[in-house]
Structure 1
Amino acid sequence: METTTFAATEGFPHTALVGVTGPEQTLAVQGDPHAALALASVSKPISAWGVLVAVERGLVDLDDPAGPEGSTLLNLLDHTSGLPFEGEQPQAAPGTRRIYSNAGFDALGAHVSEAVGAPFAEWMAREVTGPLGMRDIDVTGRPSAGYRASIDDLMRFGREVLRPALIPVELRDLALMVSRQGLRGVVPGYGAFDDNQWGLGFELKGTKSPHWLSDTMPPETAGHFGGQGSFLFIDRSRDLAAAFLSGVAFGEEHKRIWPPLTEEIVARYA
């Protein structure tokens, strides 16, 4: 593993922890790899993995009714349940709009918790973060946005997404492909897009611009960013995953450095 400094983070006025991994091992780290910071919405793809483990075990099904009337587990995972960002009052019929929803992911946690007979945090620790060796992570917060983790944790999770061991590769592929093409929706902080592409718990780059990923990243690049200045991306075309943590509210400085940083990561380690 290389200890390095990324040029794109120079002048960034906050903590800038960065990690890059291939499918077998961490390739590079900037900063303390075990410092646990708030993930905010980068919690969502990790929570989604816990849901998919339950799907693989036959404890829940993607077609299970979950969330508002007419919604399914799949709708909650791909942000088409109709639930708003926060709150319980649906804003649209299921499957008709891409409404980014913390409430939907918290409903996912509740659904899986009931099905497995254990708190969702316990399920996550026993079936996801423990087996992956994610030692610094805290999953006791909201499934939507309440976890804390380190770069080391995110590298371990990134390797799992690149070479899944907890779920079949076919289920991983389903999670990272577009679920429902052509739905309009908002990416918080970046605006509305006519084709706001998401998989199951993962945003897909598609043709969105401006975006937190570099415009040179392939449309199928999957990942998430969080409101506490965090991101995780998976570039299967290059067999790379990378993460960023800052522990401060997402703002213009993050928007400034993230596209060149993601481009620098690919240029150096692809």
Structure 2
Amino acid sequence: MDVLSEIENWPVDNAVSVVIDGRGSIAGQHGDLDKVYALASVTKLLSSYAFLIALEEGAINLEDPAGPEGSTVHHLLAHTAGYDFDSDVIRFAVGAKRGYSNYGFEKLAEHLQQETEINFADYAQEAVFAPLGMNSTKIAGSCAKDGRSSAADLAKFAAELLNPTLVSPETLSDATRVHFEGLVGILPGYGRQNPNDWGLGFELRSSKNPHWTGASHPAQTFGHFGQSGTFLWVDPVDRLACVTLTDRNFGPWAADAWAGYNERVLKAYAA
């Protein structure tokens, strides 16, 4: 029995899981790939890619002032601008800690809109979704949490993350390394991490413990999970990615299930 069928035992009404190999092909799947799910913070992966394209185009720059005084696009992308999770309250000095913030991402979208005079949802559609053929994907609201997509679409996106075409490999490699090293912070759902490593919008597995990916996942593994019960990870060492979507919010059930599941997926599909 394929490991992906384990999602049938999860306490959810609907779930789908798909594995993408290094060629960008679907290596395994279970569930309805065309059903559209709310992504919650997995939205940040899509938005981050749009921001990377904007950086390559020169529409925005990492050192552009954005957010609180002293903060830049760089700080906002890496969750070090000091903002509260979901408001404009300043919790710490710029660059002092890793403070995961939806609000900070929303300020990034505002900055991009100001610089390009293009609504962020339209920018993401034109820069990311249309070129990749992600016809079931949209961001309707916050660029941090209001995306909706299908596993079929996100499999295309995961293939792009394994073999980038919309940005240079060098740009993606830089975005998925640690930025502002050594910062302590809270990984939502998993507690204090020291360090709480992050890239440019991409959460990095690094040395985090506990974590939602498997114990055998390389430190270079990157991705994101969402409060709506969703995750996407990319393992650039084993050249493998996994998209899993559910319709039950993240909670103890997910914290208990995901790490072991992802460990078994990696072992089953890694070459």
Q: TM-score, normalised by structure 2?
A: 0.96
The offset of 1:69, in angstroms, is: 0.9
How far, CA to CA, are the matches of 2:124 and 2:4 in structure 1? Answer: 32
The offset of 1:111, in angstroms, is: 0.8
The offset of 1:7, in angstroms, is: 4.8
What are the residue-to-residue correspondences of 1:12-91 with 2, within 5 Å? 12-14=10-12, 15-22=14-21, 23-91=23-91
> Contact (CA 8 Å) 2:175, 2:199: kept in 1 or not?
yes
The offset of 1:87, in angstroms, is: 0.9
What are the residue-to-residue correspondences of 1:1-270 with 2, within 5 Å? 6-14=4-12, 15-22=14-21, 23-270=23-270
Aligned CA RMSD, in angstroms, stands at 1.3
The offset of 1:5, in angstroms, is: 5.7
Amino acid in the other structure paired with 2:125: A
The offset of 1:21, in angstroms, is: 0.6
> Compared with structure 1, are the counterparts of its residues 33 and 5 closer, same or farther at alpha carbon in structure 2 (3 Å cutoff)?
farther
> Contact (CA 8 Å) 2:139, 2:146: kept in 1 or not?
yes
Q: Secondary structure at the match of 1:39?
A: strand
The offset of 1:10, in angstroms, is: 4.2
The offset of 1:86, in angstroms, is: 1.0
> Contact (CA 8 Å) 2:24, 2:160: kept in 1 or not?
no
> Compared with structure 1, are the counterparts of its residues 152 and 4 closer, same or farther at alpha carbon in structure 2 (3 Å cutoff)?
farther
Amino acid in the other structure paired with 2:232: L
Q: What are the superposed Cα offsets for residues 104-125 of structure 1, whole Å, 9 maximum, x if unpaired?
A: 1111111111111110000000
How far, CA to CA, are the matches of 2:164 and 2:4 in structure 1? Answer: 28
The offset of 1:206, in angstroms, is: 1.2
The offset of 1:53, in angstroms, is: 0.4
Runs of 4+ in 1 over 6 A off after TM superposition: none
Amino acid in the other structure paired with 2:160: E
Amino acid in the other structure paired with 1:110: E
Amino acid in the other structure paired with 1:82: G
Structure 2 unpaired stretches of 5+: none
> Contact (CA 8 Å) 2:37, 2:245: kept in 1 or not?
yes
How many residue pairs match? The answer is 268
The offset of 1:24, in angstroms, is: 2.5
How far, CA to CA, are the matches of 2:135 and 2:2 in structure 1? Answer: 23
How far, CA to CA, are the matches of 1:161 and 1:114 in structure 2? Answer: 27
> Contact (CA 8 Å) 2:26, 2:155: kept in 1 or not?
yes
How far, CA to CA, are the matches of 2:161 and 2:24 in structure 1? Answer: 11
Amino acid in the other structure paired with 2:17: V
The offset of 1:4, in angstroms, is: 5.5
How far, CA to CA, are the matches of 1:32 and 1:10 in structure 2? Answer: 12
Q: Secondary structure at the match of 2:233?
A: strand
